[in-house]
Amino acid sequence: MSKQSFTLIEILITLSILAFIIGLLISIIKPAEIYRKSRDNQRIVDLNYLDSNIKSFFLITNTESIYTTSTSNKVFLSLQLPSFATNTNCKNYFPDLPNLPTGWEYVCSKNPTSTDGTGWIPIDFRNYMLYTISNLPLDPFNNAFNYYAFIASGTDFILYTILEDFKHPASKNDNDNHPHLYSAGNNKRLLDQAQGLVLYLPFDEGTGTIAYDYSGNNNHGTLYNGPQWVDGKVDKALSFDGVDDYVNISNSNNPDSSLRYILRGADLASPFTIILWKNSQAPITNNYWIGRVGWTNGIDLDCRFLLFDTNNNGYSINFTCTHNRWEFIASSWDKNLMKAYLNGNQIGTRSFMGPLRDNSYPIQIGGQTGVTWYFANGT
């Protein structure tokens, strides 16, 4: 006779085994999560502590001469140089560090916790009358993937680190442009320069006819035909009417401009990445967001990444966006491959080795002059 049901004893034994397994999993998983949160909290505390001390130091001294070495185009890291190191350039000893823009370098110390100016922050904290730092803190892991960093320009500075929880609210709400990083300091734009930005327009002015470039490259934009300052995804934004509004980057073709070979240049064209937040309003068919005037190299038709070669053959990645909501678009070209992302998800790639179509027209945002139907309707 076949068995039709479990006995009470069998059920109790099964439940006991399940409870044991669940308890074992919790004992393994929960501490790991607790440790991650603890490390991230320590990172935040450390950077805020350093931030308050350095700000107080500047308040008392009111001078940039507190640095024990030049800080120009340098990223100071908490990593410890090996004893055999013959120079302070961290990249020579930690090759897994991210690449920096041309002209920048990482700087490390053999005694990173020292507070006499030879540690990872080039400030002699012993000269600080309210001195409270006995040792400079280090990242809990302190390796090529997890470290503390310091950038300074005059009395402006920023401290930053990578949190293990990429969705940690602290890294999302620290007012920098890098959601995977947590930062402290009095000038978050320094981080943009060290990350290789050639153009950064946050559109946070809220008034006037100039959109200032905070990449440090002076690629400022001029507003034409009355785009409106409105509240944006973060702080302020520009709203375009879909009729004739646009922003013109007038110096984007100047010989000394960092944009000279971005989105143009034939064989001299530089690799690039475009990142933007946009909120389209219907109709969205002809929305033009950013590119070179003329045959567009950029993002147009609301959600199309389009490049042309020197024979005017177009290469595009088309994807579908939704109007009346904020969406995050990123596109890149490395001189071999085009990539497009929507809201953090890769939605297409296309092989294109160039050369990229050249012209002498400027970069424009929100509209393209000379084409009456080629203007963005949205923010």
Q: Scanning the structure block, which residue is given the tokens 């390796």? A: 143
Query: Who's near 177: CB < 8 A, 6+ residues apart?
Result: 188, 191, 192, 200, 202
Hey, what are 309's tokens? 């070669």
Q: Which pLDDT does position 30 carry in this prediction?
A: 60
| pLDDT tens digits in sequence order for the chain, 379 residues long | 445 555 655 555 555 556 655 555 555 556 677 788 889 999 999 999 999 989 888 887 766 678 889 998 999 999 999 999 999 999 999 988 877 877 889 999 999 999 999 999 999 888 765 556 789 999 999 998 889 999 998 889 999 998 887 668 887 788 887 767 899 999 988 887 777 778 888 898 999 999 998 776 789 999 999 999 999 877 789 999 988 999 999 888 787 777 888 888 888 888 888 888 899 887 666 778 898 887 678 888 778 899 999 898 999 999 888 888 888 888 888 889 999 988 878 889 999 998 888 888 889 998 888 776 688 889 8
Can you name the residues that pair with 149 across neighbouring β-strands? 77, 160
Q: Which pLDDT does position 208 carry in this prediction?
A: 95
Q: Which pLDDT does position 95 carry in this prediction?
A: 85
Q: Which pLDDT does position 134 carry in this prediction?
A: 86
From the list 160, 158, 165, the residue with the least C-alpha distance to 148 is 160
Distance CA 81, CA 114 (A): 13
Report domain 210-378's class.
Answer: mainly beta
Q: Which pLDDT does position 158 carry in this prediction?
A: 96
Can you give the residue ranges of every domain in the chain? 34-194, 210-378
3-state secondary structure of 333: strand
| Confidence (pTM) | 0.62
Instruction: With beta carbons less than 8 A apart as the criterion, state whether 299 and 329 touch.
Output: yes
246 backbone φψ class: left, alpha, beta (φ>0; ψ -120 to 50): beta
Q: Scanning the structure block, which residue is given the tokens 């595009």? A: 316
Within a 10 A sphere around the Cβ of 360, how many other Cβ atoms?
Answer: 9
Q: Which pLDDT does position 6 carry in this prediction?
A: 55
What does the buried/exposed string (b/e) look like for 300-331 if buried means 16 or more CB atoms within 10 Å of the residue's CB?
A: bbbbbbbbbeeeeeebbbebebebeebbebbb
Q: Which pLDDT does position 42 carry in this prediction?
A: 96
From the list 230, 48, 63, 271, the residue with the least C-alpha distance to 148 is 48
Can you name the residues that pair with 350 across neighbouring β-strands? 338
From the list 275, 246, 278, the residue with the least C-alpha distance to 361 is 246
